[in-house]
Structure 1
Amino acid sequence: MAPRTRTKSTKNSTATTGKAADAADAVDALTLSKFTLEASHGPAPKLFILPKLVTPEARIVLLPHPRHGRPARFIVSPEAGFYEIKKVSAPTSSPRSWLIEHCAKASDEKDSKSGDAVVDYGAQVVADPELHMATAIDPLFFMIPALVDGQPADESSARKRLLLSSDEYFDRLPDSSSHLTEILRWRDTRTLIERRMATVCDTVEAGDETMFRLNEEKLLKTMVDKASKMGEGGLPPSMEDKFVKRALEAPVLLSNTDAADCEIPNNEASDVVANAAEVPPDVVRLQRLRTAFNFICSSYLPPPLAEKLQRQLKNSTCTDFSALEDYLAKLARLRAEAAELSSLANVPQKRSSEDEVADAQAEKKRKLEEDKQRKASETRGVRELKKVNTSGMKKLSHFFKKT
């Protein structure tokens, strides 16, 4: 007898397949977009934010950075001047990208309802999340390394510095991987550089050519003016919080009740136990000025010159920092007294914690001694009875229970 074969009905499988197809169509309908993105070809584009003053004639060039002399990219526009390219990177912990939409109106198509020109949208995805911003930079910074190059170390011999033409200073700058020669062909750019050099130099007209010689007093005054302008209205929030608010913040001292429990050797401490008064506005302004000055020096000036200008600023007569210095000295005394008061207030707590540790150790030692004495007083018979296996045996009290 031939074996019978059983076949499974395909009704359920057909229904399941139909449901899956409907679900896929629904997902496709939800994920459809009116924008069609084409595959990118070639290197990925970079996103720049440029000032409105930058014209199409502007170029991205390589110039020696004023701080360290290594080549860096800048934007130079004959009409707008020089711009530094700052790169803002996204955090690596959260991958991101840019979706850039281009919008252009088509002149040959009209909307059937409104009659307006049809807007043609184009979109592009940039996988690189970096953002490049162009910020203005004074071209004077590019010439400062050449102006101080070869200057005498002795300040008394400053008058012996030679008067040189702008071309001689240009030749002092490193020319490897630099486009300085090309941008100097632009008349407006060359005039701008020479005009900025004149603000920090002594100049002499020799025929149809201007000769320059660095004047350190003018250079210091120019940097102070830049720092003052930078500090107007407050510094960026991160700098304002770290270098101004925290630097001028007085310590939070003990209250009067807490201070009364401590033995304070100095009678002046009673005046210290209070919250600090508001910082004078003039002190805040001077602190902002010093912070901005240090930032400019550490970002755009060669290290030896930056240190020299910072020393000259302390003894300069262009800005009086005596109010700031007095406040910082008073603040240092307050912090020292606050540290002393804090240490005195912590003495009772330290002693109580030490007493608790000593009591715990004494209790542990007492228990060990009691156990040792109890074991020593036991007889041999008692010790042998403890070794007997009493599992399954009834206790003696079991036989004296009420029935």
Structure 2
Amino acid sequence: MSTHLAILPLDIIDTLTARLNQENRHPSYATQFLRLPHPRTGLASLFLHDQHAQGDTTKTSSILEVQAISPTNARTWFIGEEVVADGKLVVMTPMDPMFLLMYLLRAPQTRDGSKGNFRPMQDIIEEVAATIADASKKDAQKDPSLNVSADDIISFLSLDFVQSSIKRVCDVKVITDEITVYRYSHDVVLENLKRKVGRLSEPRVAEMSRTLLLESGRIKLACELLSQYLPRDILQDLIASYDLSKLDAHVKTRAKPAKSVAAGNKNQKRKKDTEATANADVDTSGDGDKKKKGAKSSHGVEKLKKANVAGMSKLSTFFTKKAA
């Protein structure tokens, strides 16, 4: 069995520790790995359903995103007396099931802008599972790890805490006490995403980051945080629902002086280089000739000028052909 080093939320670590300290399997703890499409990319990703008891009667469920961080260079972990050759670090972080629901429930929707019909949730679950499973088969032919099974989708959508989150992505109509119908709603999704943006853009949250702290800047920051779990079209609609024109104008205004200064410095340097080249090539004052004429020779050259060269052959005679 392979060993991996992992980072888990504290409450899950506490539950696992309690389970391991008991001789028998902990009856109130259950985990299940699910392969589901990531809400931003649509690619098959690994998630962990965690369920554990809090107290005697309360059970808490959550969905964790599982990510493996691989080092650039080779790395080995030492755990006790064991050497783990695989230096990856597995990180499991809690995730709002709304993001997964948003992607799954809109998969069967038509792209013509129509809202579709209200239907019982069981019918929607079956259609979603079949649609995504069929689409993933093409990707699985190239890479088996990209396969998303219908069973995993049905298991996730059937979880109680997931069912209670469906109203955050759907319009809901109660027909009778026993019949409730649902329809995926883009407007409901944006409304709940804006609530998240509101919480994330609060000063006490936004000031944890060293970024622009204006109100519109905090909103933009919150949208960027949510962008890790949003498809591009939903992210664009979310940003467009806010008036960020003042922020955009402010950013452009700050960028223009920097560009102007850089361009001015570049032009000034080019002008100096041109003037220096012109002065080196053309000396209109005649000072260059005077400097050459007035330059003082070295002591050795002066002595050679005074030497007696009578009877000495010229240097050119050494390079002429001798007579035959």
Verify same fold: TM over 0.5: yes
The aligned residue for residue 194 of structure 1 is: 163
Task: State how many pairs are aligned.
Answer: 253
Contact 2:35 2:47 in 1 (8 A): yes
1:141–1:284 Cα change, 3 Å: closer
- Residues 4-403 of structure 1: pairs in structure 2 closer than 5 A: 44-54=2-12, 56-78=29-51, 79-92=60-73, 95-101=74-80, 123-153=81-111, 155=113, 157-158=114-115, 161-171=116-126, 172-173=128-129, 174-175=132-133, 177-178=147-148, 181=151, 190-207=159-176, 208-231=178-201, 233=204, 244=211, 281-297=214-230, 301=231, 306-311=232-237, 313-314=239-240, 316=241, 320-321=242-243, 324-362=244-282, 385-389=314-318
Distance 1:333 1:186 in 2: 48
Runs of 5+ unmatched residues, structure 1: 1-42, 102-122, 246-279, 371-383, 391-403
Secondary structure, aligned partner of 1:80:
strand
1:83 CA drift (Å): 0.6
Contact 2:156 2:162 in 1 (8 A): no
1:213 CA drift (Å): 0.9
Contact 1:166 1:194 in 2 (8 A): no
Runs of 5+ unmatched residues, structure 2: 16-28, 52-59, 138-146, 293-312, 320-324
Contact 1:227 1:289 in 2 (8 A): yes
Secondary structure, aligned partner of 1:221:
helix
The aligned residue for residue 301 of structure 2 is: none
1:85 CA drift (Å): 0.4
1:308 CA drift (Å): 4.5
TM-score computed with the length of structure 1 as normaliser: 0.53
Contact 2:171 2:184 in 1 (8 A): yes
Give the counterpart letter for 2:69 in structure 1.
Answer: V
Distance 2:44 2:223 in 1: 29
Contact 1:61 1:179 in 2 (8 A): no
TM-score computed with the length of structure 2 as normaliser: 0.64
1:185–1:291 Cα change, 3 Å: closer
Contact 1:61 1:74 in 2 (8 A): yes
1:387 CA drift (Å): 1.9
1:82 CA drift (Å): 0.8
| RMSD of aligned residue pairs (Cα, Å) | 3.5
Give the counterpart letter for 2:76 in structure 1.
Answer: S
Specify the structure having the higher radius of gyration (Cα).
Answer: 1
Contact 1:294 1:310 in 2 (8 A): no
